[in-house]
Amino acid sequence: MAKAVKKQALGRGLSALLKDPENDIKAIGDKNADKVVGNIIELDIDAIEINPFQPRTNFNEDSLQELASSIKELGVIQPITVRKLGFNTYQLISGERRLRASKLVGLTTVPAYIRIANDNESLIMALVENIQRHDLDPIEIALSYQRLIIEIQLTQEQMSERVGKKRSTIANYLRLLKLDPIIQTGIRDGFISMGHGRAIINIDNQDIQTDIYQKIVSQNLSVRETEALVKNYQEGLKPILVKAKKATTFAIVEEQKKSFNNFFGAKVDVKVAGNGKGKITIPFHSEEDFERIIKLIKG
């Protein structure tokens, strides 16, 4: 216990050092930098700004309240990490949940590791550390990989080395970003898993993706059942040897599409699979438009 008190006192002493304008540390080579950089120091919460590079955008309120209760009882066990911006001003690199929870219980200071980092280094540290977390959803991880590619211009091979993940794993996460935004939200909110998403992504048409997503949610389909559903759809689209009857079916559909469009006053979509089965989709743009189409159908 005495050792823990001594460590806390040391952090407070260094905190006072950082508040002295004559000892303002701006680079790793400055005087007293070795006493500060990499050490745990009690920092004023008001001196810490949120990291704009933070990949996480969704914070569960119940989980945050639980962490706040833990901090109220035990204190901040794992220090946050910050980078020094200027005199007594810091920017969060990692630990936003801990910082938010500390504010909830009214703490005025928080233990922090101090780093000297430029914007690129700060972004890389924040993204890499967050990717390693177990409570990020798959879309947040995918967006983190995407930012490393776009903003830091890392290749998938370089990212693989940085985060310790296989290149194929990184590629699988990135492919999720090709899903319809509605499905991405479904993954983030836990309605479907990454496994479901990986199955759906094999469908290029986003309208069909959404149809399959709705079936997964409404029928509580497993990943294996989803894969079978996708496979059945793909099998139905495979080209079949031309037969007179099938050729006639497609020809009739093409002839009637214009009639459908004129009748409903909308661009009707007609899809026909290789087995002759198909689907007619009639779009509407408002409740009034929907009622108009219903009246036409009822005659």
**pLDDT for position 294:** 80
**pLDDT for position 201:** 93
Q: Mind listing the pLDDT tens digit for each residue in 3-20?
A: 333 334 334 456 665 665
Q: Mind listing the pLDDT tens digit for each residue in 232-268?
A: 888 877 554 444 444 445 566 666 777 777 777 777 7
Q: Mind listing the pLDDT tens digit for each residue in 188-205?
A: 888 999 999 999 999 988
Q: Answer yes or no: is pLDDT of 127 > 60.
A: yes
| Residue 89 host element (H or E) | strand 89-94
Q: What distances in angstroms separate CA 8 from CA 13, 56, 72, 82, 105, one per listed residue?
A: 9, 30, 17, 18, 19
Given a contact cutoff of 8 angstroms between Cβ atoms, the answer to whether 183 and 210 are in contact is: yes
**Of residues 199 and 56, more confidently modeled:** 199
Note the pTM of the prediction, 2 decimals.
0.47
What is the mean predicted confidence (pLDDT) over 145-158? Answer: 79
CA dist 135 and 195 (Å) reads 17
Active site residues: 96
Percent of the chain with pLDDT over 90: 15
